[in-house]
């Protein structure tokens, strides 16, 4: 499977559209998950940007702390089962945070994959329910139907991400981090067979500060005055991780970072 890091604005959507087909062929990818919480103008997601991402070949879209930045997200939460929000919101919040999806043709047809989306609580808002407790409960439910489970853990603190991955070692196929937009170099397979990467990076303009134009961000640090952070445009890359999983056991065989220039 392929997991694509946070898609930022039109440049990120363009990179997915342009680069994903070749990645699918080159690596014989069976399933694609992408974090799309920044896909609409660099902040939030709408049905239109989600449709663009799905049409490019993505099977499931996850999100994070920018979930509510676009009011149109309510339509996605109500009507699109392929769109996940962090599952550690309180009961009664629209949408869902996990699901079972078919590994489907034309790439393959090999049963089901469970996908989970959770948000950390350290240095990130809004504060949600405990993801550690809820993840353990949800994994038990999903494992009754499939051994192949992927988790997008949207969190700020490296220690929280590593602890979360270690906790789930041997119970899920992979845990990959999002949110910080900087691809880390710690891809590994834990002793129990779970692939792990602290952050998969982001898909969008890298001649920037985390996808935003550089000058306003620098001015904000210099002056502490409010600035408008527009999406940048240069150095567009698609970043993420390729994960090979043994279908019979659900354990990861390999994890490889990717960073493809447009």
Distance from C-alpha of 128 to C-alpha of 160, rounded to nearest angstrom: 14
Contacts of 121 (CB under 8 A, 6+ apart): 127, 128, 130, 131, 155, 160
For the CA atoms of 80, 83, 87, 93, the dihedral, rounded to the nearest 10 degrees, stands at -40
Pull the structure tokens for residue 255.
């994890």
Whether 179 is catalytic: no
The continuous run of DSSP H or E covering 113 comes out as strand 112-119
Positive/negative CA dihedral, 86, 87, 89, 93: positive
Dihedral pair phi/psi, residue 173, rounded to 5°: -80, -35
Contacts 24+ apart (CB under 8 A), 228-232: 229/42, 230/42, 231/8, 231/9, 231/10, 231/11, 231/41, 231/42, 231/204, 231/205, 232/11, 232/204, 232/205, 232/207, 232/208
Report the DSSP beta bridge partners of residue 6.
202
Find, among 245, 256, 253, the residue nearest to 187 by Cα: 256
Q: Which of 66, 154, 179, 206 is catalytic?
A: 66
Name the residues annotated as catalytic. 66
């Amino acid at each position: 499977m392929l997991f694509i890091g946070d898609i930022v604005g039109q440049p990120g959507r363009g990179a997915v559209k342009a680069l994903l087909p070749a990645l699918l062929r080159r690596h014989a990818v069976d399933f694609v998950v992408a974090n799309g919480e920044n896909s609409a103008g660099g902040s939030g997601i709408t049905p239109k940007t989600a449709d663009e991402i799905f049409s490019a070949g993505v099977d499931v879209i996850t999100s994070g702390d920018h979930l509510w930045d676009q009011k149109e997200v309510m339509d996605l939460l109500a009507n699109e089962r392929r769109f996940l929000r962090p599952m550690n919101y309180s009961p009664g919040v629209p949408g869902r945070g996990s699901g079972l999806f078919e590994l489907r043709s034309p790439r393959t047809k090999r049963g089901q994959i469970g996908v989970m989306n959770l948000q950390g609580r350290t240095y990130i808002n809004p504060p949600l329910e405990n993801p550690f407790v809820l993840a353990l409960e949800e994994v038990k439910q999903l494992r009754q139907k499939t051994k192949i489970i992927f988790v997008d853990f949207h969190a700020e603190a490296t220690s929280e991400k590593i602890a979360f991955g270690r906790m789930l070692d041997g119970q899920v196929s992979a845990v990959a981090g999002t949110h910080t937009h900087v691809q880390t170099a710690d891809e590994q397979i834990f002793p129990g067979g779970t692939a792990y990467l602290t952050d998969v990076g982001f898909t969008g303009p890298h001649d920037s500060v985390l996808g935003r134009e550089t000058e306003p961000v620098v001015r904000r640090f210099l002056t502490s005055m409010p600035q408008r952070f527009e999406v940048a445009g240069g150095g567009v890359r698609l970043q993420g991780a390729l994960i090979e999983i043994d279908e019979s056991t659900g354990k990861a065989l390999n994890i490889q970072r990717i960073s493809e220039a447009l």
